[in-house]
């Protein structure tokens, strides 16, 4: 499986699980909202008060028997590899994949910045794919091709760690994310953590 094929597989699996959960709630007779953003009582998008100060989305919300809206998340799925998969992005970024999950992708980035980092490019990337104004039309599965969440970058002495929920976004969102890493002068991007070899042992 090539790098492009495995990313495509992870994206399709994540979107499939999301669509299934939305359809499940609809089938149970609940009024269901796909990929809602967190909003205040006035209907305005709410952003985190600190860090990157960015908004976030739930996988879905539904009106339960109490008459109140409840948020919910779809099941998660990860592709795990016995040995890392390597790729290069524009000959500027080395990519090393240990495991990949579309709805909660873990990035370790090297090297960390020597000075304070300007995250404006990453924030712009996120807001473009977050679609705060809900202008994108949903597809047949009710999904709008949008990113749900990005964590505040954790800058450690030897690396940066970031988590991203790519939601229903296409693989183009990940490609543009890599472009932003190149602009930040990141040289190595590790996706996921090395897995416990025991999980690959077939027990009789």
Confidence at residue 198, expressed as pLDDT on a 0 to 100 scale? 46
Same domain, 123 and 169: yes
What is the chain's percent helix, strand, coil content, to nearest 5?
25, 25, 45
Same domain, 44 and 96: no
Q: Where are the beta strands (DSSP E) in the chain?
A: 31-34, 60-63, 69-72, 79-89, 93-100, 105-110, 149-150, 154-155, 160-165, 188-191
Cβ neighbors of 134 (< 8 A, separation 6 or more) are 37, 144
Same domain, 97 and 119: yes
Q: Which of 39, 38, 35, 37 is nearest to 59 (CA)?
A: 35
C-alpha torsion 171→174→180→182, nearest 10: -100
Q: At 97, give phi and psi (nearest 5°).
A: -105, 120
Same domain, 30 and 95: no
Confidence at residue 197, expressed as pLDDT on a 0 to 100 scale? 46
Same domain, 89 and 190: yes
Low-confidence ranges of the chain (pLDDT < 70): 195-204
What is the domain extent for residue 159?
79-196
Same domain, 181 and 135: yes
Predicted confidence (pLDDT) per residue in 9-55, tens digit? 999 999 999 999 999 999 999 999 999 999 888 888 989 888 999 99
Confidence at residue 193, expressed as pLDDT on a 0 to 100 scale? 83
């Amino acid at each position: 499986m090539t790098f492009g094929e495995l990313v495509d597989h992870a994206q399709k699996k994540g979107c499939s699980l999301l669509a299934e959960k939305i359809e499940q709630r609809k089938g149970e007779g609940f009024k269901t909202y796909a990929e809602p953003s967190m909003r205040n009582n006035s209907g305005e998008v709410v952003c985190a008060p600190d860090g990157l100060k960015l908004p976030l989305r739930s996988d879905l919300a539904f009106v339960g028997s109490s008459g109140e809206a409840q948020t919910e998340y779809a099941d998660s799925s990860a592709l795990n590899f016995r040995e890392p998969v390597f790729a290069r992005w524009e000959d500027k970024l080395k990519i090393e994949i240990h495991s990949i999950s579309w709805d909660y992708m873990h990035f370790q980035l090297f090297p960390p910045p020597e000075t304070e980092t300007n995250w404006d490019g990453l924030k712009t990337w996120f807001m473009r794919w977050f679609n705060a104004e809900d202008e994108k039309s949903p597809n047949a599965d009710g999904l709008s091709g949008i990113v749900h969440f990005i964590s505040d970058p954790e800058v450690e002495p030897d690396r940066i760690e970031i988590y991203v929920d790519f939601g229903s976004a296409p693989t183009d969102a990940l490609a543009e994310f890599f472009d932003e890493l190149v602009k930040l002068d990141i040289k190595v991007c590790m996706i996921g953590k090395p897995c416990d070899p025991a999980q690959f042992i077939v027990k009789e």
